Amino acid sequence: MHIFKAIRENVLVPVHPAGWPFIAIFAVAGMILTVIWEHLFFPGLILTLWCVYFFRNPVRTTPFRDGLVISPADGRVLSVEDLPPPAELDLPDGKYTRIAIFMNVFDVHVNRAPMAGKITDKFYFPGAFFNADLDKASEQNERLGLVMKTDHGPTIGFIQIAGLVARRILCDANEGAHLTVGEHYGIIRFGSRVDVWLPKPVKVLACPGQTTIAGETMIADFAKGAKSVEESVAR
């Protein structure tokens, strides 16, 4: 029973709709290569299965409490920094913390809303395709940003950033839409990054190097009395 449960939870997971055209292309290409030379069957099969794996969209259990900020992406926290937000987000005046999360080609690439709220603005910037883990990627790469007036109160911003391999950002959320926390709102194909901009005061729960799970990992908290990672460790 444990074996079947492991297979169901880790292999038999839903696939994001954006992946099916690519899966079909990989499958057809694999069949053509097999006709040309039968020894190419297994490489074609492996590539097709990898494509299915890349576009997987597992079910997530999202923590819910007013003020919690949940990771919008699977990946690794690149940095947690106090920085002025990019002008294109047009966020309210004030000080902000940026949490940058890098997704490699083996991470789930479906992005989820970090909080519940209404999308008040959406922008697209057709930039370059530097490696997404470089700091300049947040200013120079192709990116798509959303501004959200959260149900809790603060206005936040989050940006999907293309990477060296990623060449396509998909975002289903439009201005005026209301997202629930953990709700799917987009996907970036083949390696990328998501930056979250949070106004101060906010207690940051994520730390550089940490692995995050979209829709599950708590990365910050706006609730009064919440403790940051540093304060929790100090105790």
Distance CA 44, CA 132 (A): 28
What confidence score (pLDDT) does residue 33 get?
Answer: 82
Averaged in consecutive runs of 10 residues, what is the pLDDT profile of the chain (235 residues)?
48 72 82 84 83 83 93 95 91 95 88 97 78 62 92 95 72 94 88 91 96 96 67 49
- 161: β partners: 143, 193
What confidence score (pLDDT) does residue 56 get?
Answer: 85
- Residues 56 and 186: beta-carbon distance below 8 Å: no
**Phi, psi values for residue 5, rounded to 5°:** -65, -40
Locate 185 and state its tokens. Answer: 């709102």
- Residues 158 and 115: beta-carbon distance below 8 Å: no
192 as an active site residue: the answer is yes
How many H-runs (helices) and E-runs (strands) does the chain carry?
Answer: 5, 14
What confidence score (pLDDT) does residue 7 get?
Answer: 46
Q: How far apart are the first and last CA of the chain?
A: 42
User: Domains (ranges, CATH) in the chain?
Assistant: 2-54 (no CATH), 68-234 (2.70.70)
What pTM did the predictor assign? Answer: 0.81
What confidence score (pLDDT) does residue 45 get?
Answer: 85
Burial class of residue 65, CB neighbours in 10 A (0-12, 13-18, 19+): exposed
Distance CA 27, CA 205 (A): 42
**Of the listed 79, 138, 192, 232, which one is catalytic?**
192
